[in-house]
Amino acid sequence: MNFDKTVLVTGCAGFIGYHLCKKLIPLKIQVLGIDNLNNYYDKKLKIDRLNRLKSIIKNSNNKWNFIECDICDRDNLNSLFSKFQPQIIIHLAAQAGVRYSIINPNSYINSNLLGFTNLLESVRNNAVENFLYASSSSVYGGNTNIPFSENDNVDHPISLYAATKKANELIAHSYSHLYNIPSTAMRFFTVYGPWGRPDMAPMIFTKAILEKRTLQVFNKGDMQRDFTYIDDVIDIIIKLTGKPATPNLNFDTNNPDPKTSWAPHRIFNIGNSNPIQLMDFIRILEKEIGIEANIEFKEMQAGDVKTTFADTDELENWIGLKPSTNMKDGIKEFIKWYRNYY
């Protein structure tokens, strides 16, 4: 990465955003982090992440700024762009969670659609060289053709969260076409690791096992997830910042390629390409924690999918890198952090 650049990270107090900023700050580039610090999950965890980032500043020549800002606030966004003039945008802020979208849809419309468009408006009105944004494996919806490929049709989302992420890809593409903005969609596959989100399976399962509470396992345990370790994800994001999306010069409008375009817009899966059975995942947790889970099998939840499995050939071809951390090694690091933090 060019050290002369200013990088804006939205959602910097979130799980992925925190780890990204932690990696960027020591590089002595100018990093601007924004977050609205909402209470979707424990706000203390977000504050603690930010405090950890502050502790890094002492050795970083003060190349870090945090500003509490909601991307739904267009005027504030415009002011930030005017003041800091970021050239690279890594957009990770969003209302997350598949299940929560069923009970609180407006939060997703506001953040993931209105906020996303506000950010793109700021991008197009400033000299931005590279725009990367978080999409999700959830866009594959009810697709049963595995592994999931960027060439697959993603027109059948089964949750509002997934629909907003698909919409992000469409909106970003239109801006890339209209305003020549290099844009890259990152379809993340179940990211886990230290400082993770409390609403995701690793945290939920670990908490239940340690507290010896009943652990609800959906679809009677017949599920697979392509768990992807956080450090791998961060290395890939940083690689992508150094290689903005470019037009596909061989794009055929009679036979369109979903993952590329005549515009500078690209889509990549970011997953470990090694899905694990949910029950095997629980056994790994049990072994690392040293406590057997008390399991209650439940039916499939609305909006959930049976299997996720990333085909990462396109990513490897683009940057020569893919996630590779072994599940047992990743869980060991996660449990070590969990015991220390909680």
Instruction: Give the residue, 1 or 247, on which the prediction is more confident.
Output: 247
> Is the pLDDT score of 73 beyond 70?
yes
Q: Which residues face 176 on adjacent strands?
A: none
Q: Which two tokens stand for residue 82?
A: 């005017």
User: Does a structural domain hold residue 304?
Assistant: no
Strand intervals (E) in the chain = 6-10, 30-35, 64-68, 88-91, 130-136, 183-188, 191-192, 214-217, 224-225, 228-229, 265-270, 276-277, 294-297
The per-residue pLDDT for 305 is: 81
Distance CA 308, CA 139 (A): 11
Average pLDDT on 48-57 reads: 90
For residue 303, is it within any domain? no
Distance in Å from the first CA to the final CA of the chain = 35
> Residue 54 domain-assigned?
yes
Residue 170, classed as helix, strand or coil, is helix
Beta-carbon count within 10 A of 148 CB? 25
Question: Does residue 108 lie in a domain region?
Answer: yes
Residue 46: inside a domain, yes or no?
yes
Burial group, residue 250, by CB count within 10 angstroms (0-12, 13-18, 19+) = exposed
Percent over 70 (pLDDT), the chain:
97
Q: What total number of domains does the chain contain?
A: 1
Lowest mean pLDDT among 58-72, 188-202, 265-279: 58-72
pLDDT at residue 327, rounded to an integer: 95
Distance separating alpha carbons of residues 270 and 256, to the nearest angstrom: 22
Cβ atoms of 268 and 184 closer than 8 Å: yes
Q: Note the pLDDT of residue 68.
A: 97
**Coil, helix or strand for 89?**
strand
Structure tokens at 134: 């978080």
Residue 187 scores a pLDDT above 80: yes
Helices first, then strands: H and E counts in the chain: 12, 13
For residue 272, what pLDDT is reported? 96
Query: What is the rounded average pLDDT for all residues in the chain?
Result: 93
Max alpha carbon distance in the chain (Å)?
A: 58
Q: Is the pLDDT of residue 249 over 80?
A: yes
Quick one: average pLDDT of 203-215? 95
Query: What is residue 299's DSSP assignment?
Result: P
Between 1-10, 146-155, 322-331, the lowest mean confidence (pLDDT) is in 1-10
pLDDT confidence bin for 263, thresholds 50/70/90: very high
Strands 294-297, 64-68: pairing kind? unpaired
132, part of any domain: yes
Torsions phi, psi for 42 (to 5 deg): -40, 110
Q: Is residue 72 part of a domain?
A: yes
pLDDT average, residue stretch 140-145? 90
The pTM for the full model equals: 0.95
pLDDT tens-digit map of 264-302: 999 999 999 999 999 999 999 999 999 999 999 888 777
Question: pLDDT category, 2, cuts 50, 70, 90?
Answer: low
When mean pLDDT is compared across 129-133, 134-138, 210-214, 220-224, the lowest value belongs to 220-224
Q: Which residue range forms the structural domain that includes residue 76?
A: 6-192+228-272+309-324
The pair of structure tokens assigned to 292 is: 């057997």
What's the CATH number where 75 sits? Answer: 3.40.50.720
Q: pLDDT by residue (tens digit) across 318-342?
A: 999 999 999 999 999 999 999 999 9
The confidence score (pLDDT) of residue 60 equals 55
pLDDT tens-digit readout, 97-119: 877 788 889 999 999 999 999 99
- How would residue 71 be classed by pLDDT, with cut points 50, 70 and 90? very high
State mean pLDDT over 306-313: 93
- pLDDT value at residue 281: 95
Active site residue 341: no
**Two tokens at 22?**
């932690």
- Which segments within 51-151 are labelled E, that is strand? 64-68, 88-91, 130-136
Strand 88-91 with 64-68, pairing: unpaired
Sheet strands (E) in 45-129: 64-68, 88-91
SS (H, E, C) 223-254: CEECCEEHHHHHHHHHHHHCCCCCCCCCCCCC
96 pLDDT exceeds 60? yes
Catalytic entry in 40, 41, 100, 161: 161
Identify residue 31 by its one-letter amino acid code.
V
- Please indicate, yes or no, if residue 341 is contained in any of the structural domains: no
